[in-house]
Amino acid sequence: MFVQRENFGPRHILQYNFVMNNFNYPAHIHQFPEICYVIFGELEVTVNQRTYTAKVGDFIFIHPMQVHSYHTPEMCNCLVSAFSGMFVSDLMAEMAGKSGEVPVFRCMESVESYVRSTFLGGEVGDEIVVRKPPVGIEYADRHYTGQHFVKYNDPVVSARFRSCFYAILSEYLRVVPMVDASTDGSDALAQVLFYISKHYLEPITLADTAAALGYSSNYLSHRIQKSSGMNWNTLLGSLRVEHAQHLLHTHQGTMLDIALECGFNNERSFHRMFRRITGQSPGEYLRERG
């Protein structure tokens, strides 16, 4: 498992949006919601160690911080969109602390038709709405397109996308029962990720988290390493650095202000973790991304 970090940028645009053939992607997490729609064939999605099969016309919704992966058994064509929760802030607030019993669901025909016309039918009037990667390319991490969506600054276009996400998620909430996210998933990692997602901007420690979840620190450290391939510091640091990268685009304060707001004790530890995660200093990242 890894923390997906390729999609940083302004949160008023989609993080990525593409059509993918024979979609395969390893287990990962990110701090934004994701919707997948199966256009053709079948797609397997594994969420918190449970595998489901989505067929033609099915939608998949991934909550922030859910461990998930994709696999195509034979052949599929699917639309994948990831976006900031700010796009649908009231619905995300409604789902805070919850997750669906299942990630796969169907929408009413009218909703499905609206989504297809928006993302696949060209009604928005911009061919860049959906990027189609070259045939034969399986891993989508080469095709993130958020940085290219210049028209998303257009309030009319943005409203159209938001309306689609609202329509899809209203159907999700209508047909899928919600459960307590803190107990969703048989592995301790799901509980850890839920807890961290609520507290990662605070000065939390492994001992704090273990005590809150009823585990010993040694056990929790072992489970995190075994399940995610990361130690506690890297997992927590990755989420804080992701938040910092967003703030670097929007925050008017100093580097120390950003460091403290992201949960770091001081600017030095912030710089050290930022470089460890991204390979750059915060200043180098900002100069490169603008």
Q: Per-residue pLDDT for the chain (290 aa), expressed as one digit of tens each?
A: 566 654 445 555 666 777 888 889 888 888 789 999 999 999 999 998 899 999 999 999 999 888 899 999 999 999 998 888 878 889 988 888 788 999 999 999 999 999 999 888 877 655 444 444 434 434 333 333 333 333 445 677 778 888 999 999 999 999 999 988 766 555 677 788 888 888 889 989 999 999 988 889 999 898 888 777 788 998 898 888 888 887 887 777 899 999 999 999 999 999 999 998 888 899 888 887 65
Residues 127 and 217 placed together within one structural domain of the fold: no
Confidence at residue 228, expressed as pLDDT on a 0 to 100 scale: 73
Residue 169: predicted pLDDT: 96
Domain count, the chain: 2
User: What are phi and psi for residue 112, nearest 5 degrees?
Assistant: -60, -45
Q: Are residues 68 and 142 in the same domain?
A: yes
- Residue written as token pair 């973790």: 273
Q: What is d(CA 176, CA 170) in angstroms, rounded to the nearest whole number?
A: 10
Q: 105 and 10 in one domain?
A: yes
Q: How many CB atoms lie within 10 A of CB 37?
A: 24
Of 157, 181, 205, the last residue of a domain is 181
Which amino acid appears at position 204 of this protein? I
Six-digit token pair at 254? Answer: 């100093």
Same domain, 125 and 14: yes
DSSP string, 107-150: --HHHHHHHHHHHTS-TTS-GGGSB-PPTT---GGG---GGG-G
Cα dihedral 119, 120, 126, 129 in deg (nearest 10): 50
What's CA 51's distance to the chain center, in Å?
A: 18
Which residues partner with 227 through β-bridges?
none
pLDDT for position 150: 37
Of the candidates 151, 181, 211, which is a domain's last residue? 181
**pLDDT at position 145, please?**
37
Q: Tell me, yes or no, whether 55 and 198 share the same domain.
A: no
101 & 128 share domain: yes
Single residue among 137, 158, 181 that ends a domain in this structure = 181
How many whole angstroms from its chain centre is CA 197? Answer: 12
Q: Are residues 214 and 244 in the same domain?
A: yes
Q: Which residues pair with 105 in a beta bridge?
A: 59
Q: Name the residue range of residue 124's domain.
A: 2-181
DSSP 83: E
CATH number at residue 247: 1.10.10.60
Residue 231 and residue 165 share a domain:
no
CATH number, domain containing residue 52: 2.60.120.280
- Same domain for 28 and 167? yes
What angle is formed at CA 232 by the lines to CA 259 and CA 280, rounded to 5 degrees? 45
Same-domain status, 196 and 273: yes
Same domain assignment for residues 215 and 120: no
